[in-house]
A and B are shown apart, each in its own frame.
Chain A
Amino acid sequence: MSLLRIDHLNIEFPNRYGTKLAVNDVSLSIEPGEILGLVGESGAGKSTIGNGIVQLLSQPGRVSGGDVYLNGELISDFDDEAIRKVRGSRIGFIFQDPMTSLNPLFTVEDQLIETIQNCLGLSAEKAKQRAIELLEKVGIADPEIRIKQYPHQFSGGMRQRVVIAIALAGEPELIIADEPTTALDVSVQDQILQLIKDLCINMNVGCMLVTHDMGVIANVTDRVAVLYRGRLVEIGSTKQVLTAPKHEYTKSLISAVPIVSKRLDRFPLVEYIEAEEKGLKHIDVSTHWIGQIKKHNTTGDLLTIKYLNLSFITRDAFFKKNRRSIQATKNVTFTIKEGESFGLVGESGSGKSTIARMVAGLQQPDSGSIIFDGTELINNPDRDAVAEAHLQIQMIFQNPYSSLNSRMKINDIIAEPILFHGLAKKSDVSGIVGDLLDHVGLGRKTGLKYPHEFSGGQRQRISIARALACRPRLLICDEPTSALDVSVQAQILNLLKDLQDELGLTMLFISHDLPVIRQMCDRIAIMKKGEVLELAENKEFFEHPQNPYTRELLELMPRFEQYGQ
């Protein structure tokens, strides 16, 4: 008998336009001690299944058909009170973002003990004893002291451990982990995944691991279920699905995953997922406005950064000796050649985005120098020259949902920098904006819409068009695809590569995602705690890393191609 069996599950979300079927006739099962991966892109319905099992769907979603059995017991018919007793005690939950799934106003002790008492009905004394044991089990040092602390006093990885401890508190038979490591760094991700894997084996607990990351699937799951638009398109052993996918969607999904072992020229086209807009006007860059960038003193080195230092004050105090600060960048020095893609990798807090912000002029360093095409950008009295240089440095931000003004039409968003800097005649602007939209694959008709009408990938295309509107020579891409699905990521990265070839753009590409860096960059610098540890050519970096930290990261990264494609 399976631990969990789902038969023909349907989940629907009624809205004012009718009813959207978020989960369509999905059947699967999980055995004790097994990890089943549930993979798919955003909107595929993978989280909805997890929530639907324990009836935690957000309003107005409802299970409209199908049965869910837990250890042979039909739980999809349970009423509110009965399903509440299943939650926590029999099915534990781990959510994506450990920063938000703990209540900031209560201590870890309080949140753990309330769960233990609720599920197991122990006395306060015994519950505390058990809470400390649990924290120890999930690998938190000094649990007696840490238990008294509030969530904000834990790091992201530690918080996720606390969340796992809470999920285990009721001694559940099944754990549903909804993107448990998406918000975490690679090295922490590896520890958390290992922890989940060990717990499942040791405690004979089944686990449903919801993720969009094929690397995670390859590393920890025993079997995989692939979802596409609410339908289960394929289910089978991890090895079979990854090496010999049967369904077309699975094939194209797998082909879109960036790999580390070799560098490809372009990402394979993923036609099944999203066909690009057809019939767009093609512009000849050499004669078009976009291609006419003023070029001067091209010496080979476009950007030179020397001894860049910046520290942030983390605790302010009246007396200097009491102040605490954190060194965001420490003597960072590197050069980017004209026309190359320079990659900056590192875990969160390593200072890579800070460098981008300083190059773009959004932040002033404490000391050091940034020279763009012969112009010093830091403390240069010639403000016009600095402004001129900054115009040629444009940035694409990580989150396409918050980097566009939602009250402005796309046309206005893209036209704004052209008009502000007076880069083209007013009468030409609307034509240029249309051409840009065509060029990034959206089509000029979309210019009349507002940002909320677009998907994440389309918005990122708008951001790219906006950056191009300044006719930049250096494009800073700060995690441009980390908020996007893997198939969309492939399209955006292809677009960036195309643009770079056509326009001769220089790119500073920042990412925590090593496979993406592998595919995108010519030279790579790795950062840790504000310092550049290693700087090498792409091939050298991935195949013969010198620095121990680089080696460690490369090793810990969930490798998708371990099954050998």
Chain B
Amino acid sequence: MLQFLFKRLLQAAIVMLIISLLSFSIKDKLGDPLREMTGMSVSTAEREMLRKKMGLNDPFLVQYGRFVKKALHGDLGTSYFHKLPTMTVILKKLPATLELTFAATLIIIFTSIPLGVMAAIKPNHWFSKLIMAFSIIGISIPVFVTALALIYVFSVKLGWMPSFGRGETVHLFGYWDTNFLSKDGIMHIIMPAIALSSIMVPLFIRLVRAEMLEELSSEYVKFARAKGLSRTKVYFKHALKNTMLPVITVGGVQIGIMVAYTILTESVFQWPGMGFMFLEAVNRSDIPLIVAYIMFVGFLFVLVNTLVDLLYGIINPTVNLLGKGQ
């Protein structure tokens, strides 16, 4: 276990180093920070002085070293627009995005697994064929189209759902704002979550179906049936658990990607999360915030994947993550 975590930490450090190099290159090549910070009245000589004082004339690697050193202390620079440390800005927006991703993940789990299993165990049923047809359509419709269609139907035409924002949130632990504890909050999160999950659900249905079909043709499923177990038990105990192994691995990557997809969903629904913030930062050329966002999302990716691998190790006894003796 410790060895696994140590290896993972090492990998994570390398990944983060690469991400930081990329994001610092962006920072270095995009625009002139002095222009953003100083007014028109500052003379060229003074600018040059300031430039020297801030170390902007130093070689790339020296500046990068300084950037990494600061980043290690949690300092990813100060946002030009918000005039606050970028990490503070991001952490303020984090709960909204995480809750949206979480809600979308719930939708994915509770729709794709039952539907995928259904499509696998009754492949010739009309409903299974319908599921598969819809999954093809679902994969090919972009998230923002789904989002706009949802708003048009349920907010504009029917007026059932709020079309933007987080609505009423409940303040928790002095830091976290949650949507899940008020009716208004839940109403606000439903449509963005559906939109965000809309591209993942069909993908997972197809994945679950394919893996389940594979497991159903395996020898141990046949043996389980030969033991006289009921179909329900064979499908949902024996086959499903094995089906989940590859689904979990893919899921880990997809959840990371979903955090990135929030940019689209959040801007359509004006959801005050990290994605929306990132879009604003791009519009305002708020380079430190852009860099911090990239770094932070990269970190989330690594974190989620590590957790998923741990989960995989717990479910699959043949993977000896925990270093138990044979």
Contacts and interface: CB of A to CB of B under 8 A. Distances in A.
Interface string B167-211: 000000000000000000000000000000000000000000000
6 contacts: A58-B217, A88-B229, A95-B222, A114-B229, A118-B227, A318-B3
Contacts of B225: 56, 87
A441 interface: no
A150 interface: yes
Nearest to B221: A103
A451 interface: no
B226 A54 contact: yes
A406 interface: no
B207 to A, nearest CB: 18
Given A103-B238, A104-B242, A97 B219 contact: yes
B220 interface: yes
Interface in B21-74: none
Pairs of residues from A and B, 3 with the lowest C-beta to C-beta distance, nearest first: A88-B228, A93-B226, A100-B219
A119 B228 contact: yes
Nearest to B228: A88
A93 B229 CA distance: 13
With most chain A CB atoms within 10 A of its CB, the pick from B220, B224, B230 is: B220
A147 to B, nearest CB: 14
Given A93-B227, A119-B228, A104 B317 contact: yes
Contact of B228 (A85, A106, A318): A85
Interface string A145-180: 000001011000000000100100110000000000
A92 B223 CA distance: 10
Contacts of A166: 223, 227
A163 B222 CA distance: 13
B261 to A, nearest CB: 32
Given A114-B233, A119-B228, A101 B223 contact: yes
A106 B318 CA distance: 10
Interface in A69-112: 84-89, 92-93, 95, 97, 100-106
Contact of A118 (B6, B228, B326): B228
A317 B6 CA distance: 12
Nearest to B124: A59
A87 B223 CA distance: 10
B238 to A, nearest CB: 5
A151 B149 CA distance: 51
A95 B318 contact: no
Interface in A207-251: none
B111 interface: no
A115 interface: yes
Nearest to A116: B227
Contacts of A105: 241-242, 315-317
A86 B223 contact: no
Nearest to A318: B3
Interface string A52-67: 0010101000000000
A88 B230 CA distance: 11
Given A56-B222, A100-B220, A152 B318 contact: yes
B88 interface: no
Residue among B227, B238, B326 with max Cβ neighbours from chain A (10 Å): B227
A150 B228 contact: no
A530 to B, nearest CB: 20
A317 B226 contact: no
Given A114-B233, A317-B3, A102 B223 contact: yes
B218 interface: yes
B230 A84 contact: yes
Interface in A256-281: none
Given A84-B228, A87-B226, A88-B227, A150 B317 contact: yes
Contacts of B6: 318
B191 to A, nearest CB: 37
Given A100-B218, A101-B220, A105-B316, A88 B242 contact: no
Q: Tell me if A's interface is mostly helix, strand, loop or mixed.
A: loop
Contacts, number: 82
Given A95-B219, A103-B238, 7 more contacts: A58-B217, A87-B226, A100-B220, A102-B220, A103-B220, A115-B229, A318-B6
Given A103-B238, A114-B233, A152-B317, A87 B228 contact: yes
A219 B223 CA distance: 26
A87 B229 CA distance: 8
Interface string B298-326: 00000000000000000111100000001
A111 B217 CA distance: 19
Contacts of B318: 104, 150, 152
A85 B230 CA distance: 9
A101 B228 CA distance: 14
Contacts of A318: 3, 6
Contacts of B229: 84, 88, 114-115, 118
Nearest to A119: B228
A106 B230 CA distance: 17
A104 B221 CA distance: 11
A169 B229 CA distance: 13
A163 B223 contact: yes
Nearest to B318: A152
A100 B226 CA distance: 14
A169 B228 CA distance: 11
Contacts of B218: 100
B219 A101 contact: yes
Contact of A103 (B226, B242, B315): B242
Contacts of B237: 114
Contacts of B315: 105
Contact of B226 (A56, A114, A150): A56
Nearest to A55: B225
B106 to A, nearest CB: 24
Nearest to A90: B228
A510 to B, nearest CB: 27
A106 B237 CA distance: 10
Nearest to A150: B317
B119 to A, nearest CB: 16
Interface in B223-274: 223-230, 233, 237-238, 241-242
A97 B220 CA distance: 10
B224 A103 contact: yes
Nearest to B223: A101
Nearest to B225: A56
A169 to B, nearest CB: 8
Contacts of B217: 58
Contacts of A56: 222, 225-226
A153 B320 CA distance: 11
Of B223, B224, B242, chain A has the most CB atoms within 10 Å of the CB of B223
Contacts of A101: 219-220, 222-223
Nearest to B245: A105
Contacts of A85: 228
A105 B315 CA distance: 7
A269 B228 CA distance: 45
B317 A95 contact: no
Contacts of B226: 54, 56, 87-88, 92-93, 95
Contacts of B222: 56, 95, 101
